[in-house]
Amino acid sequence: MTTPKTIPYKIYLTEDQMPKAWLNLKAVMPEKPDPMLHPCTLAPITLPELTPLFCEELCKQELNDTDLHIAIPEAIRNFYKMYRPSPVVRAYSLEERLGTPAQIYYKFEGSNTSGSHKLNSAAAQVYYAKQQGIENLTTETGAGQWGTALSMACAYYGIHLDVFMVKVSAAQKPYRKAVMQTFGATVTPSPSNTTEVGRRLLAAAPDTGGSLGCAISEAIERAMTTPNARYELGSVLDHVLLHQSVIGLEAKAALDLYGVTPDIVIGCAGGGSNFGGLISAYMADRLQGKNNIEFLAVEPASCPSLTRGRYAYDFGDSGQTTPLLRMYTLGSGFTPSPNHAGGLRYHGMSPVVSKLYHDGFIKAKSYDQEKVFEAAEEFARCEGLLPAPESSHAIRAALDEARRCKETGEAKKILFGLSGTGYFDMAAYSSYNDGTMSDALPTDADLARGFATLPQIPQNA
């Protein structure tokens, strides 16, 4: 720990200070997450069963729960240097505006063209695909950040990419498609009639706005039926959280330079990759008894997997084709209201985040979207940065915490993750500005319908 210095507005690490290894949280968890199961045998899945779907190195990372540090190949570190390190920003203007004694810091992941943290895993996944000689990749995207990130990495490495984009998001964010196409990707709104699972889902619900779970099914089918192809997932899985640990490692390294340890770390959580990455370094220390930091996951009230879901084995996709993951889930058949414009629409939650939440290391809360956009606008006008609706869930919680500190007089140190920018979310901002935004929170009956789609296996009893 160095002598405290005046803390600048933005802390940038030098290239030398950037992480050289990812952090694998599973290695230090007192209890490991339950294993991924084969959907037919219900036995823990093996490496050979996983490699037809994902690149081999990613499968090894997925199943690795012993190595705390996994080296980042030099080529990936060089890719990271094109857009990283991302800064830790001290929100001085916001603190002043709120009149809070709290210190507010945010780790900003949105200054690359994908507009979010997603590029951290895309860069790694496409690198490993290239190393393995894969020529075609497929994926799904919701809000579009992941599809854009993977398009960028695929353009860089010269690999063809098929993106299935959730239909309602494609309609809400028309220009996201154009960005992916500019990077050379083929983009198909999902559900589509280009896959069997898509045709089946369309037949059952012709007017559906789609869901991430459904787009995943289509992308997997495309990968399995295309020569020399693999599927890539942008969140949820352990290897994605591994890559995203670069967020938390950089955040801690930056704050350590100024002797700052946060009292609370706040992140938005959809599939969990941003949140899991953000908390990685501090959580590893917490699990080893080195700090007592509070971790808060924030999710939309319209897709409340942690706060209203069940901790159960479930499929990762609506088509019910993936391995089973034990996670907080609303059921793979759950689809949030198409009115919900705040992203974070996935029915489940990273098994690592889910297990930590289940074991009491993480707290969770949810907000409806008007409260989220209200916070987004307040933040934007003060800090001069238009946040993604997803990230604005964390902003809302951070603002509430800072206001609470104003009442209590606590000089808490708050770190939140600003995972991305909202430049492609202006349709949603417009509806907020003109007062036509509404949210449609799931009723208990909606949730019951989702839970009814959980697989009927003993673990769910």
Residues forming contacts to a copy of itself in the complex (CB under 8 A) are: 8-10, 12, 14-15, 78-79, 81-83, 92-93, 111-113, 115, 119, 152, 155-156, 174-175, 178-179, 181-184, 377, 380-386, 421, 423-424, 426-427, 429-430, 433
CB-nearer residue toward a copy of itself: 179 or 353 = 179
CB-nearer residue toward a copy of itself: 83 or 101 = 83
Strands (E), 381-438: 413-418
**Least gap, CB of 111 to a copy of itself (angstroms):** 5
CB-nearer residue toward a copy of itself: 39 or 184 = 184
CB-nearer residue toward a copy of itself: 57 or 383 = 383
Residue type, 159: I
Residue 250, SS3?
Answer: helix
**Least gap, CB of 12 to a copy of itself (angstroms):** 5
Q: Is the peptide bond before 300 cis (omega within 30 degrees of 0)?
A: no
Q: Alpha-carbon distance 445 to 440, whole Å? A: 13
Contact 118, 109 (CB under 8 A): no
**Least gap, CB of 118 to a copy of itself (angstroms):** 12
The DSSP letter of residue 4 is P
CB-nearer residue toward a copy of itself: 147 or 213 = 147
**Least gap, CB of 398 to a copy of itself (angstroms):** 17
Handedness of CA 38, 43, 44, 47 (dihedral sign): negative
Contact 117, 421 (CB under 8 A): no
CA distances from 225 to 39, 52, 138, 189 (A): 19, 11, 11, 19
CB-nearer residue toward a copy of itself: 96 or 359 = 96
CA angle 336/113/234 to nearest 5° reads: 45
Strands (E), 157-236: 160-166, 186-190, 229-231
Specify the pairing of strand 363-367 against strand 413-418: unpaired
**Residue 8 burial class via C-beta count within 10 angstroms: exposed 0-12, middle 13-18, buried 19 and up:** middle
CB-nearer residue toward a copy of itself: 228 or 430 = 430
Residue 60: both structure tokens together: 């090894």
**Least gap, CB of 72 to a copy of itself (angstroms):** 15
**Least gap, CB of 62 to a copy of itself (angstroms):** 26
**Least gap, CB of 181 to a copy of itself (angstroms):** 5
**Least gap, CB of 339 to a copy of itself (angstroms):** 18
CB-nearer residue toward a copy of itself: 113 or 460 = 113
Residue type, 318: S
